[in-house]
Amino acid sequence: MINRRIEFSLLKSRLNEMIIEEEEKKEEKDERLLADLCECYLLLSSMFSNKLRSICVSCLLKVALNKEENEETQKEVEIAFMALSYISQYVEIKKDLFLNDMKEIIQYHQKHHNLTRLAYQSAWGFLMNRFYYNKSLEDYIANELHFGREAATELEELTRSVDWERKEEERGKGREEEDFIMRWIETLNNFFRNCRLWNEDFVKILSSISCIFRAAKDNHKEIRERCINFLQIATKIGAVKIDDLLKGKATDAVLEKIQQPTLDERVIFECFKFFIYISRRLKLKKKDEKEEMKRKEMVKKTFEKLEEEGYEDVIIGFQETFAFLNGIYFNSGKLSLNISDYLVDAC
């Protein structure tokens, strides 16, 4: 995490001056030094001028465009993308400064697999942070660069690499894959919060997150919390159909989790919010006759599934804890104290 004291320090001012001095040299410009300075600046600071923004992004994308596959180059590309991924989503960067380069880098990797795992994840992290100001990137990200397919593939590979039975104190080096999973979930959150388009690849993401949520069990608390938070966010997004949540096994995973005898309060809270949002969406009647018929069919399907799994009994069993959970997590949105708000009426 960035130490905010750096924002007003002499170190930041000196780095600023050195970057501009090196960039403005007409002869004997040291590109490696400039890249190092830009990386330090982005990793230490969250606020910078338009001029610094342009210099740093252009310089580091130039480093990232190097397609040599030797270890030294791969490490340089990795650090460049790490630094770029630290640029906050609230910092606006014009598309013409990065779009063509990012397309070339990602598509080349998809064919030749030249980037390290960290470099590739960081590349997507940088791109997702740009989505906040550039909603027009959505089609490009979803359909040209196939983000859903790529993210699902990465998550599936990482899931196979983690020893899910190993407890916190036993992990050691195995922590690396877990960190990658959490980085990917954060990247997905940045995209899904603003998502309007939808395709079948995103159902694969729901399936991957649901699988990880199941696997995390009691030994991976942070991953478990991030997974349910992601699934809960997904229920609020209009582009994510309830049927997609069913196909992606999200509802199965949350139902299974909420019935466990030992479950921490944060996960309980997020699980019930997940079902509240599903219930609210299914209760919204459609004006179009065909859409209303689809809604009723989905209500029936969901009702039967929840009834079969004993969901209503679970709700009643937890009713007395709702007020308690609201008292702990009031900043995260309150749970309803009315049981009917959690249920889907099959009529």
The whole-number pLDDT of residue 1 equals 45
The whole-number pLDDT of residue 160 equals 93
Neighbours of 342 (CB within 10 A): 24
Residue type, 288: D
Q: How many Å apart are CA 283 and CA 90, to the nearest integer? A: 35
pLDDT (tens digit, 0 to 9) for every residue of the chain, 347 residues total?
A: 444 555 557 777 888 889 999 999 878 889 999 999 999 989 887 777 888 999 999 999 999 999 998 999 999 999 999 999 999 888 899 999 999 999 999 999 999 999 999 999 999 999 999 988 888 899 999 999 999 999 999 999 999 998 888 776 666 655 889 999 999 999 998 888 888 888 888 899 999 999 999 998 778 889 999 999 999 988 888 788 888 888 888 989 998 888 887 778 888 899 999 999 999 988 888 889 998 998 898 898 888 888 888 888 988 888 888 888 888 887 777 898 888 888 887 65
In this structure, what token pair is assigned to residue 312? Answer: 């209503």
Positive or negative torsion for Cα 127, 131, 136, 138? positive
The whole-number pLDDT of residue 169 equals 67
Q: How many Å apart are CA 345 and CA 258, to the nearest integer? A: 20
The whole-number pLDDT of residue 218 equals 77
Task: Write the pLDDT tens digit of every residue in 53-91.
Answer: 999 999 999 999 999 989 999 999 999 999 999 998 888
Residue type, 193: R
Positive or negative torsion for Cα 162, 185, 142, 123? negative
Q: How many Å apart are CA 18 and CA 38, to the nearest integer? A: 10
Helices 147-161, 175-192: inter-axial angle, 10-degree rounding: 160
Q: How many Å apart are CA 41 and CA 256, to the nearest integer? A: 46
**What are the residues whose beta carbons fall under 8 Å from the beta carbon of 143, sequence distance 6 or more?**
197, 199
The whole-number pLDDT of residue 64 equals 97
Q: How many Å apart are CA 181 and CA 19, to the nearest integer? A: 34
In this structure, what token pair is assigned to residue 301? Answer: 């399907």
The whole-number pLDDT of residue 127 equals 94
Task: Write the pLDDT tens digit of every residue in 143-178.
Answer: 999 999 999 999 999 999 988 887 766 666 558 899
Model-level pTM? 0.88
**What are the residues whose beta carbons fall under 8 Å from the beta carbon of 264, sequence distance 6 or more?**
221, 225
In this structure, what token pair is assigned to residue 178? Answer: 């877990």
Q: How many Å apart are CA 130 and CA 134, to the nearest integer? A: 6
The whole-number pLDDT of residue 71 equals 94
Q: How many Å apart are CA 177 and CA 20, to the nearest integer? A: 38
In this structure, what token pair is assigned to residue 117? Answer: 């795992």
